[in-house]
A and B are shown apart, each in its own frame.
Chain A
Amino acid sequence: MTKSSDKKDERIQDAPLWMWGIALLGLVLVLGSILFMLYGAVIGDTSPPDVVVRVESIEDAGSGFLVMFRTINEGGSTAAGLTIEGTLMNGTENVETSNTTIEYLPSHSERKGGLFFTLDPRQYELELRATGYEEP
C-alpha cells in the first residue's frame, strides 16, 4: 500500500524510443487512413459497376460439369447481389442455363464462383455474363 502512494509523486516522465516509434506508426496509420478515405470521397471513382466474367476452368463434377469463373468489377461502385448467368448454346439454340449470385463485388476487386451444368460445356458454346445487381 505504501509503495503505490509513493509512486504517485513520481509521474511517468518519458517513454523509451521504441515506444515513441510505435506511437508514430499509430499516428501515421490513423492520419493515413483518414486521408485515404477523404481522397476516395473527393477524387475517387464513383462510376457504376462494370462487371467482366471470365471462365477459369471447366471440370468434371459428380454427374455433371463445373465451370469455374472469375468476376472482375472494373467500375467504381460495389455491386451487391450480382447475378451471373451461364448459357450453353448450340448455334442459336439455348441448350442449358445455370445461374448463381455473388453477394458482393466491390469496386476494382474480383470474386470467384462456379456454375454447374449437366451437359459438357466444352461441347457447346459457353456464354457467361452478369445479368443484374443492386446497390448495397
Chain B
Amino acid sequence: MGNQKKQHLHESFFVEKTNQSDMVNKSNNRHKHHTEQQTSDHNFAKDLAYDFGGAILFSFPLLMTMEMWWLGFYMDRLRLALFLFWALVIVLALSYLEGGEETFKIEVLDALVACATGYTVATVMLFLLGIIKPGMSLDEIIGKIALHAIPCSIGAILARRQLEAEETKKEARRREGYHAKLFLMGVGAIFLAFQLAPTEEIILIGYMMTEVHAALLVLVSLCMMQAFLASIERRPKVPIFSAGFFWNVFLRYTIVGYAVALLLSFYVLWTFGRVDGIAALDIVKASVVLGFPAALGAATARLIL
C-alpha cells in the first residue's frame, strides 16, 4: 500500500513538473525512452543515493573511534589485506542475498558500486574530520581509508534493504536457506564485533573478569541468542514454549551461531593484533567478552540485515 502511495506521489510530481514547459516535457520523454531501451525503468541514481546513506549510517561510530584511526597505520599489513579480502567476499555475498529482481551480473555490479561508495565515504569523512592530514605518509593514509572503507562498504550494500525494505520472493527464498541464515548470523556477528574490537575496553574487561564471570557471560550470551532466535524462528502452529521447538532452535541455530560468533570474535581480535603476546586464558576471556556483542549481532542479524 505504501508503495502505491509513493508511486502516486511520484507520478503527480512528475506530471506537475512536465506541465511546466514543453522543453522539460521533451527531455523527460527522451530520457524515459533511453532508459527503457537500456535498463528497463530502474533508477540507478536512487540506488547510489541509498548506498551513500547506508555507508554513512553504518560506519560513523567507527569513523569516530580513535583506535580505528591508529589501527589504520599500525596494524599488521598481511592481516589487513586478509580482512579486506573477506570484506569483499561479504559484500558480494550480501549483494547476492539481497538481490531480488536482478541478474547475477547486476548483483556483482551492486557489490562493486557499494565498495566504491565505501571508499569514497571513508575518504571524504576522514578528511572532513581532520583524521587525514598533510604530512602523513601514503601508507598511513591508505591504511586508514582501506580499514574504514570496510564498514562503509558493508553499510552501503545493506542500505537498500534498510532504507527501502521491500523483500521480493526470490530474495526471501535465498535468505531462508540454512547456510544463508548461518552466513547472515556470521555477518551480524562480525559487524558488531568490528564495532567494539578496536577499543581497549574488550581486553581490559577480560582482565577484570574471573573465570566464573566468563562462564556466566557465556551462559547469558546463549540465553539471549536463544530468546531472539526462538522469536525469529517461530512458526504459526508450533508452540514457542515446547521442548521440541526449544531444542530444535538451540541445536540448529543458537549453539552453532554462538560458535560462529566466538570464532569470529577471536578472528577480529587477532586481525587487530589485540591477542598478540597475551596468555591463552586471557585470549579466551577476551573472545568471550567480544562474543557477547557478536552473539547479539548474530541472533538479531536477520532482523537488522
A30 to B115, CA, bound (A): 7
A34 to B146, CA, bound (A): 9
Residues of A within 8 A of B139 (CB): 40, 44, 106-108
A2 to B257, CA, bound (A): 38
Q: How many residues of B contact A (CB 8 A)?
A: 52
In the complex, the answer to whether B137 meets A27 with C-beta atoms within 8 Å is no
**B136 beta carbon closer than 8 Å to chain A:** yes
**A85 beta carbon closer than 8 Å to chain B:** no
In the complex, the answer to whether B39 meets A37 with C-beta atoms within 8 Å is no
Residues of A within 8 A of B42 (CB): 12, 15
Q: Chain B: interface secondary structure?
A: helix
Near B by CB (< 8 A), chain A positions 5-55 give 7-8, 10-16, 19-20, 22-27, 29-30, 33-34, 36-38, 40-41, 44
A38 to B83, CA, bound (A): 12
In the complex, the answer to whether B146 meets A33 with C-beta atoms within 8 Å is yes
**A87 beta carbon closer than 8 Å to chain B:** no
Expressed in whole angstroms, the minimum distance between the Cβ of B44 and any Cβ of chain A is 5
Q: Which of A3, A23, A25 contacts B7 (CB 8 A)?
A: A3
**B284 beta carbon closer than 8 Å to chain A:** no
Q: A10-B101, A12-B40, A14-B39 are in contact. Are A33 and B149 (CB under 8 A)?
A: yes
Q: Which of B57-65, B74-82, B248-256 contacts A (4 or more CB under 8 A)?
A: B74-82
Q: A3-B4, A26-B119, A44-B77 are in contact. Are A12 and B114 (CB under 8 A)?
A: no
Q: In the complex, which range does the number of interface residues on chain A fall in?
A: 35 or more
Q: A12-B39, A104-B73, A109-B73 are in contact. List 6 more A-B contacts (CB 8 A).
A: A12-B40, A23-B108, A26-B118, A34-B88, A107-B137, A110-B136
- List the interface of chain B (C-beta within 8 A of A): 1, 3-4, 7, 35, 38-40, 42, 44, 48, 70, 73-74, 76-78, 80-81, 84-85, 88, 101-103, 105-106, 108-109, 111-119, 135-137, 139-140, 142-143, 145-146, 149, 166, 168-170
